[in-house]
Amino acid sequence: MLSFPIKKRSLAATAAGLTLVALISATVAQPASAARGEQAQALRLKSWGLNGSGQLGDGTTTDRHTPVTAAGETGADAIQVSGGGFHSLALLNNGTIEAWGTNAEGQLGDGTTTDHSTPGTVAGLLSVRAISAGRSHSLALLSNGTVMAWGDNTFGQLGNGTVGPDNPLPAPVTGLTGVVAIAAGNFHSLALLSDGTVRAWGLNSSGQLGNGTIVDSPVPVTVLGLTGAKAIAAGGSHSLALLNNGTARAWGLNTDGQLGNGTMTSSSIPVTVLGLTGAGALAGGFAHSLALLTNGTVRAWGDNIDGQIGDGTTTDRLAPVAVLGLTGVSLIAAGGNHSMAYPSLGPVTNWGANNAGQIGDGTTTMRTVPTGIRTGRIGITSISAGFAHSLIV
């Protein structure tokens, strides 16, 4: 990962990465055991794009320009996906997690630092309700409202009170209870509590923790002045919160307008996203942001160097603009420099950077407007975008 502060770059010319995180609540059944290599049944999961670390989970390290099926290890179905920098997570309907891809910092949670190109079980986790993959760390929300974290801890993003070393096994985030949503950025983490407040920890060089400082924190701190939040999302070095009234707040890095407040000035406290009302979901990319409105349309703002805003241009947007041609959307996701949406009637639609095939249309041509692709899946319940790969289930 390139060092911070982040500067604008094209994904065709960088190896830095990010994930977006979107929380989807899941019904948890009793756990079942699984061991790497059984491959009794394929997961209901499709993936495409960059695959140099095996993050597509198809048993290869070959980039895929159209969707492929990830190899499964249990008879359980995946119900939520999350794409990290170069690794991927899937939450199964038995309350366990599968992980695959790069593992240099232990982000796969299997106690090793060995990469895997097929899914394997994250050790010791049961009754998981939500997952989130950061650049090189991972988070899990348990049914008791606590959070587990594993992987890279260079900036305290695991929230265990230490800064380094990495941890290849899940461990509790210090002092968190009553959590209802989680989100992992490049090197920071967020948790939404049941009382509508937000906690943050990890890297804070751009104010992405929202506590009025630029001092890193290895334990959760309170995001200042934020109440009535009902959803959260984490970008590369910025953070987002959706309020009960359908408006949004953002904080952290703003060099490309990713905070959506009409400026390019970073903020260590939440600021209002301009002109955004009726929002029902948010997504944070490397340096851009998305909002799904309750009327099924999508707004985007921030970095647009690869067309990830979806308005037919490559002009950065400092406040939300409409993504062209999208209606009836039920799910959104933002990756490194690409974006995803799923209209309830299909198909999965992608736009932005496509240098590794992350759009999924069989080409490596950048798309500045939404492009529908064939995935072979209907009734999709979760989508996610990593640095340069895409996932659906």
From the list 127, 143, 83, 38, the residue with the least C-alpha distance to 382 is 83
Buried b (16+ CB within 10 A) or exposed e, 326-359: beebbbbbbbbbbbbbbbeebbbbbbbbbbbbbb
Residue 17: band (very low, low, confident or very high) from pLDDT cuts 50, 70, 90: very low
pLDDT above 70: residue 209: yes
Tell me if the domain spanning 17-392 has CATH number 2.102.10.10. no
246-257 average pLDDT score: 99
pLDDT above 80: residue 345: yes
- Is 116 in contact with 103 (CB distance < 8 Å)? yes
Q: What's the pLDDT tens digit per position in 147-201?
A: 999 999 999 999 999 999 999 999 999 999 999 999 999 999 999 999 999 999 9
Mean pLDDT estimate for the chain:
90
The full 3-state SS of 35-50, as one line of letters, equals: CCCCCCCCCCCEEEEC
pLDDT score of 56: 98
Distance in angstroms (rounded) separating the CA atoms of residues 236 and 320: 18
pLDDT score of 43: 72
According to DSSP, the β-strands at 288-293 and 298-302 are: antiparallel
pLDDT score of 378: 86
- Is 86 in contact with 387 (CB distance < 8 Å)? yes
Give the sheet arrangement for strand 238-243, strand by strand: 229-234, 238-243, 248-252, 267-272
pLDDT above 50: residue 38: no
Phi first, then psi: give them for residue 11, nearest 5 degrees. Answer: -65, -20
pLDDT score of 205: 98
Phi first, then psi: give them for residue 190, nearest 5 degrees. Answer: -130, 150
pLDDT above 90: residue 247: yes
pLDDT score of 39: 38
Domain boundaries, the chain: 17-392
Q: How far is CA 134 from CA 19, 108, 200, in A?
A: 6, 11, 14
- Is 100 in contact with 63 (CB distance < 8 Å)? no
Q: What's the pLDDT tens digit per position in 284-330?
A: 999 999 999 999 999 999 999 999 999 999 999 999 999 999 999 99
Distance in angstroms (rounded) separating the CA atoms of residues 355 and 363: 9
pLDDT above 60: residue 74: no
- Is 100 in contact with 117 (CB distance < 8 Å)? yes
Q: Quick one: which H or E segment has residue 371?
A: strand 367-372
Sign of CA dihedral 50, 307, 334, 359: negative
Token pair 């920071």: residue:
188
